[in-house]
């Protein structure tokens, strides 16, 4: 009995120590170790899928168009993704170079993609009739990807979810009046219960993206979600899990693991109180998260590659979103982009995985981005505008041992003042003191964004 008690205390202690708790905050080093796979991975796939793929005009359609439950029911009644083949999705993600994925288990409309015991508003009750999450996890794991869930804190379907500024029925006075008796505590039990299901029934879950808080009048934040208790439960169920920052616990030690700038590129490494922190930007191909038939602002493959390189050059991760169709497929526009990224990653992944911002002594050359692998001591110059024959790297002189184009490992010769790799007889020694001048082919290599790999001298 006493031993069982001790074991229990020990386990609780471990759970707390694994991720930190107010009583026993996690050390910086422990957090770094817990997040290591994620920091190395750098590129993940976000998947927004649910009933809103039928209207195909943004995942907020129910709120934007003030739809009643009855009106929205037409999508539930017709949800039948007959072409759904998670192995194809997983393959596309792996081929694009993605190392983890985050799928919407429930979005704000309240529809659940897994076989939840706590509601009928879920996939197995639709015409499709099957759990969508389990086979996806299996397929993704088989392709070597880590598993993440996006779960909406908001719920526009639950009968006890109180009406707030985003609720589809917010402008219907009679509805709002009637809904005054709603008891959010009951919704919270449901929220806790569902997250518990998700973190219990599907093995190891690597990341959790909870979305979102909007504290203040007519909003919801840490008090409404019971965020601290929710977080403690999550960490206890999955001690190694990595959690985003949308529980409204930014000021609580251990209240979040990484920041989530959404749909924009931060100007520099994201920091909190002046210190750089882990961050991941989530981005869409086209502006909508859910499948949006008529959205036309799709980013090009080179834009997406630059987005990835720029994110890593500032020490962040990129979570790139796909919104599958209501048939269960990735549409051609998404597939084309994933393939384009994959082709680039095949040859240039070394400049992304395990990489981060370059040390400050290497200034960023014009029209380039720099990434750096601290383990191998290699620096990567992503060349955004192919220059004419030479690329001058100010401040790099004396620091580089060897240089090559990354995609084909062909040597790039270079010159430094007093160095031995001058371009032409007689040109030797003309270089500026601190400058290392790379000699490049005139023709841009046949790669969307060519990368030059610099083997730095060990100091």
Q: Report residue 327: phi and psi, to 5°.
A: -85, -15
Q: What angle do CA 322, 210, 118 make, to 5 degrees?
A: 100
Min CB(166)–ligand GLC separation in Å: 8
Instruction: Give the gyration radius of the chain's Cα atoms.
Output: 25
Smallest gap, in angstroms, from Cβ of residue 125 to ligand GLC?
A: 23
**C-beta of residue 82 within 8 angstroms of C-beta of residue 129:** no
x/- map, 62-91, ligand GLC, by CB under 6 A: ------------------------------
Smaller CB distance to ligand GLC: residue 206 or 416? 206
- Residue 59, interface with ligand GLC (CB under 6 A)? yes
CA distance 131 to 116: 9
Judged by CB under 6 A, how many residues of this single chain contact ligand GLC?
Answer: 8
Closest approach, Cβ 357 to ligand GLC, in A, equals 23
- Judged by CB under 6 A, does residue 282 bind ligand GLC? yes
Of the two residues 76 and 209, which places its CB atom closer to ligand GLC in the complex? 209
Residue carrying structure tokens 């794991």: 141
- Candidates 26, 143, 155, 211; binder of ligand GLC (CB under 6 A) is 211
Q: Binding residue for ligand GLC (CB under 6 A) from 52, 75, 212, 344?
A: 212
* 164 touches ligand GLC by CB under 6 A: no
Pick 259 or 399: Cβ nearer ligand GLC: 259
Which of 238/321 has CB closer to ligand GLC?
321
**Residues 249/228, Cβ–Cβ less than 8 Å:** yes
Sorted by sequence, the CB contacts under 8 Å of residue 408 that are 6+ apart come out as 347, 445
Q: Residues 168-207: x/- map of binding to ligand GLC (CB under 6 A)?
A: ----------------------------------------
Q: What kind and span of H or E run contains 438?
A: strand 435-439
To ligand GLC, the closest distance from the beta carbon of 170 in angstroms equals 15
Nearer to ligand GLC, 278 or 450 (CB): 278
**Contacts of ligand GLC in 248-267 (CB under 6 A):** 262
Cβ 211 to ligand GLC, closest distance in Å?
Answer: 5
Q: CB 402 → ligand GLC: shortest distance, Å?
A: 41
**Is 262 exposed, middle or buried (CB count within 10 Å of its CB: 0-12, 13-18, 19+)?**
middle
Whole-number Å distance between alpha carbons of 374 and 12: 35
The answer to whether the CB of 119 falls within 8 A of the CB of 105 is: no
Rounded CA separation 161/24 (Å): 34
Q: 289, 372, 396, 414: which one contacts ligand GLC (CB under 6 A)? A: 289
Q: From residue 296, how far is each of 53, 55, 341 by CA, in Å?
A: 16, 16, 19
Closer residue to ligand GLC, CB minimum distance, 211 or 448: 211
* Window 19 to 48, contacts with ligand GLC (CB under 6 A): 48
What contacts 50, CB < 8 A, 6 or more positions away? 59, 104, 106, 107, 109, 111, 113, 290
Tell me, residue by residue from 408 to 437, as one string, x for binding to ligand GLC by CB under 6 A and - for no binding.
------------------------------
> Peptide bond preceding 212: is omega within 30 degrees of 0, i.e. cis?
yes
Residues at the site binding ligand GLC, with contacts judged by CB under 6 A: 48, 59-60, 211-212, 262, 282, 289
């Amino acid at each position: 009995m006493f031993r069982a008690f001790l074991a229990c205390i020990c386990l609780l202690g471990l759970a707390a120590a694994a991720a930190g708790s107010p009583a026993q905050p996690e050390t910086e080093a422990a957090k770094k170790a817990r997040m290591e796979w994620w920091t190395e991975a750098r590129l993940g796939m976000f998947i927004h899928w649910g009933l809103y793929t039928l209207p195909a005009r943004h995942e907020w359609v129910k709120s934007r168009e003030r739809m009643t439950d009855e009106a929205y029911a037409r999508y539930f009644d017709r949800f039948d993704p007959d072409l759904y083949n998670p192995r194809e999705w997983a393959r596309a993600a792996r081929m694009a170079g993605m190392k983890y994925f985050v799928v919407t288990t429930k979005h704000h409309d309240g529809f659940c993609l897994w076989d939840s015991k706590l509601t009928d508003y879920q996939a197995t009750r639709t015409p499709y009739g099957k759990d969508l999450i389990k086979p996806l996890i299996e397929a993704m794991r088989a392709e070597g990807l880590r598993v993440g869930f996006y779960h909406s804190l908001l719920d526009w379907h639950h009968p006890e979810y109180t009406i707030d500024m985003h609720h589809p029925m917010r402008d219907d006075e009679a509805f709002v009046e009637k809904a005054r008796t709603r008891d959010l505590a009951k919704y919270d039990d449901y929220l806790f219960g569902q997250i518990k299901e998700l973190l219990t029934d599907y093995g190891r879950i690597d990341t959790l993206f909870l979305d979102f808080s909007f504290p203040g009048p007519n909003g919801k934040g840490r008090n409404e979600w019971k965020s601290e208790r929710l977080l403690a439960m999550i960490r206890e169920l999955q001690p190694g899990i990595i959690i985003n920052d949308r529980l409204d616990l930014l000021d609580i030690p251990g209240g979040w693991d990484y920041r989530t700038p959404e749909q924009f590129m931060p100007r520099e490494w994201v920091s909190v109180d002046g210190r750089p922190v882990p961050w991941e930007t989530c981005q869409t191909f086209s502006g909508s998260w859910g499948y949006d038939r008529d959205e036309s602002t799709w980013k090009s493959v080179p834009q997406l590659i630059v987005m990835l390189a720029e994110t890593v050059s500032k020490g962040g991760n990129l979570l790139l979103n796909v919104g599958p169709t209501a048939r269960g497929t990735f549409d051609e526009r998404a597939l084309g982009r994933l393939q384009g990224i994959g082709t680039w990653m095949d040859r240039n992944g070394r400049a992304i995985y395990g990489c981060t911002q370059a040390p400050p002594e290497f200034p960023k050359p014009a029209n380039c981005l720099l990434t750096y692998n601290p383990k191998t001591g290699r620096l990567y110059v992503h060349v955004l505008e192919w220059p004419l024959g030479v690329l001058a790297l100010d401040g790099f002189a004396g620091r580089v041992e060897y240089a090559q184009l990354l995609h084909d490992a062909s040597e790039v010769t270079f010159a430094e003042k007093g160095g031995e790799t001058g371009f032409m007889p007689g040109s030797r020694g003309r270089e500026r003191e601190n400058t290392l001048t790379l000699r490049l082919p005139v023709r841009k290599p046949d790669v969307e964004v060519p990368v030059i790999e610099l083997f730095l001298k060990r100091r």
